[in-house]
Chain A
Amino acid sequence: MTGAQPLEPLAQAGMRGARYAAWRFVLQRASAAVLALFVVVHLATIIYAVRHALSAQAIVARMHANVFWPAFYALFVVAVAVHAPLGLRAVADEWLGLRGRATDAALAVIALVLLGGGLYAVASLAG
């Protein structure tokens, strides 16, 4: 290196560019913050239900009693559908050597599967 001219930064086009990468990061951390709160609530309700040996009817009745629960779980599912594929993207890249457009497309499919499956489960819960 003669140092005469600074080298060009990595040529980053498209999905590898700064804004896309930064949005992936921000969405990952934002969904993480949402999930931190939601998971605490979820764990608390699980432990509560287990301690009180709630029956099916009891659980479903409590879930139906308030529009809060379906709304809560719907938001939960959305946050998971954002967070999990972004996390898996790093695993695929670093441990499986899978990177690029095909991998990103597969992860988008996983996101949609989680979203669809999760919202369907929430709809079943809401009756």
Chain B
Amino acid sequence: MNDSSTLARAASADTMRRNDLRARGHAGFLAFVAHRVSGIVLALFLPLHFFALSQALSDPRALDGFLEWTRRPAVKFAETMLVLALAVHLAGGVRLLFVEFVGWRAEWQKTAIAMVAGTSLACALLFALNA
């Protein structure tokens, strides 16, 4: 019987070759990498975010001190990168929701990816220039 362990054994790494970067140099794959990396960054950041907020919010003076710290250029840069990660993940995610639940049009795919990139950059710049 073909259960998943049989298929997994047949597909074990030492019997086959895998693709390298030459097969991956296209928009769809790059969009995936951006979406996944931004997701990982956000997942790692969130516990720190919750912790910092809970510390700072329990005491208004601590919050002021915290906000003061965030005015440093290195922190502003890190925050901009986080906003970029959030925007990339959001815009890319909306694109995927569209593809999966609204519909697929082949000629729109590259345009959609371009729009995701543009919107994310605009958002990050909007933050950076105002911060």
Contacts and interface: CB of A to CB of B under 8 A. Distances in A.
Do A and B come into direct contact in the complex, CB within 8 Å? yes
Interface of A: 7-8, 10-12, 16, 29, 32-33, 35-36, 39-40, 43, 46-47, 50-51, 55-57, 59-60, 77, 80, 84, 87-88, 91, 113-114, 117-118, 120-121, 123-125
A43 B60 contact: no
B38 to A, nearest CB: 10
Nearest to A32: B93
A51 B50 CA distance: 23
A55 B97 CA distance: 37
A117 B63 contact: no
Contacts, number: 95
B2 A8 contact: yes
Interface residues of B, number: 39
Interface in B1-21: 1-4, 7
Contacts of B49: 121
Interface of B: 1-4, 7, 36, 39-40, 42-43, 46-47, 49-51, 53-54, 57-58, 60-61, 63-64, 67, 83, 86-87, 90, 93-94, 96-97, 100-101, 123, 126-127, 130-131
Given A11-B3, A46-B83, A91-B36, A36 B54 contact: no
Contacts of A39: 86, 90
A53 to B, nearest CB: 9
A114 B58 CA distance: 19
Contact of B130 (A47, A77, A120): A47
B123 A56 contact: no
A12 B1 CA distance: 12
B56 to A, nearest CB: 8
A29 B97 contact: yes
A7 to B, nearest CB: 5
